Amino acid sequence: MLELVLFYIFAAIAVVSAICVITQKNVVHSAAFLGATLFAVAGIFLTLHAEFLAGVQVIVYVGGILVLFVFVIMLIAVERSEHERQFNRQWTIALITSAILIGEIAYGLYRGRDSFVLPPVVVPPAVPAAGNSELVGTALYTYYLLPFEIASILLLVAVVGAVALAKKRTSAEE
Amino acid sequence: MVTTFHYLLLSAALFTIGIIGVLTRRNIMVILMSIELMMNAVNINLIAFSDRLQQVTGQVFAIFVITVAAAEAAVGLGIVIAMFKNKETMNINEIDLMKW
């Protein structure tokens, strides 16, 4: 029962803040609502017994990506964009396309809803031998070691790319 | 009782909101934020099934998704800064140099 209440609270916060993210005029308000959504999704992860992912969500998304967003908003002028038109001219077409997408997803979920009712797990972990972080770490460093290393290279490339994109051009390059 | 179906519905809602944001807004910062929303929706799906099937693989993949999201945000915001230096705008309709 508590699980259900927690789920509905977090889901409501997530969805309402997400709608606010895309409707607010001021970009700073959008960023604040994005933070609320990310925290609510971290709560959803907690209800799914993924404690490690909830921590990573808060640290990486809220502590890293969102702060980066706010920094960039600080660097570039915000005031002028508030007075411009906020939505595209083709927003009607966009909404129609989104409605079709909603229909497709709803149809898929409706037709497949029985397949989500899986038989209960045969061997329920009576006493979880290891904590969630330990399980994730073991899987990450043994079976998924190669993807893990590739992800680190991806991050390195992204760091170099971001620096190369954002730095000032020297006179020698021009 | 919260079932996997609940989580899938929440994930679908967040993903659709992200899609609408990308398609209708003109401010490039809001578009990047909508992409982050869609990544979060995917993560909810992965972890819901990870919990349902009692397998840790979904959580490992969610970590990879978060990695890709961080890289995407870094590069995307670098592009925004470079674009703002050149064009002094955050409106994507004015960034049409390569549009035919």
Encoded tokens for A3: 């699980």
pLDDT at B67 over 60: yes
Are A79 and A143 in the same domain? no
Which position has the higher pLDDT, A89 or A70?
A: A70
Cα of A26 vs its chain's centroid, Å: 21
Contact (CB, 8 A) for A116 and B4: yes
pLDDT at A21 over 60: yes
Task: Look up the domain containing A137 and give its range.
Answer: 132-169
Are A144 and A73 in the same domain? no
Chain A CB within 8 Å of residue B14 CB: yes
Beta bridge partners of residue B27, listed in sequence order: B91
Query: Does residue A102 lie in a domain region?
Result: no
Task: Report the number of distinct structural domains present in chain A.
Answer: 2
Confidence of residue A80 (pLDDT cuts 50, 70, 90): low
Contact (CB, 8 A) for A17 and A34: yes
Chain mean pLDDT for chain A:
85
Are A73 and A1 in the same domain? yes
Are A4 and A71 in the same domain? yes
- Check if the interface score ipTM surpasses 0.95: no
Query: Does residue A31 lie in a domain region?
Result: yes
Are A78 and A139 in the same domain? no
Query: Does residue A33 lie in a domain region?
Result: yes
**Best interface-test mutation with A: which of B56, B72, B95 has the largest number of A CBs within 10 A?**
B56
Are A70 and A138 in the same domain? no
pLDDT at A122 over 60: no
pLDDT at B3 over 60: yes
Distance CA A54, CA A6 (A): 15
Query: Does residue A94 lie in a domain region?
Result: no
Within 10 A of A71 (CB to CB), how many other CB atoms are there?
A: 11
Chain A CB within 8 Å of residue B27 CB: yes
Cα of A33 vs its chain's centroid, Å: 13
A22 → closest Cβ in B34, B78, B89: B34
A11 Cα to chain B: minimum distance (Å):
7
For residue A31, which amino acid is it?
A
Topology annotation, domain B4-89 = Helix Hairpins (1.10.287)
pLDDT at A124 over 70: no
Are A78 and A136 in the same domain? no
| Angstrom distances, CA of residue A123 to CA of A107, B49, B57 | 33, 17, 17
Q: How many helices (H) and strands (E) does chain B have?
A: 3, 0
Q: Last residue of some domain: A83, A100, A119?
A: A83
Chain A CB within 8 Å of residue B83 CB: no
Are A137 and A71 in the same domain? no
Chain B CB within 8 Å of residue A101 CB: yes
CATH number at residue A49: 1.20.120.1200
Query: Does residue A73 lie in a domain region?
Result: yes
Task: Indicate the burial class of A122 (C-beta count within 10 angstroms; 0-12, 13-18, 19 or more).
Answer: exposed
The pair phi, psi for residue B99, each rounded to 5°, is -85, 140
Closest chain A residue to B42, measured at CA: A41
- Smallest CA-to-CA distance from B25 within B83, B76, B90, B74 is with B90
Q: Last residue of some domain: A43, A60, A83?
A: A83
Within 10 A of B48 (CB to CB), how many other CB atoms are there?
A: 26
Beta bridge partners of residue B25, listed in sequence order: A87
Return the pLDDT at B83.
84
Query: Does residue A150 lie in a domain region?
Result: yes
DSSP string, A47-89: HTT-HHHHHHIIIIIIIIIIHHHHHHHHHS--HHHHHS--B-T
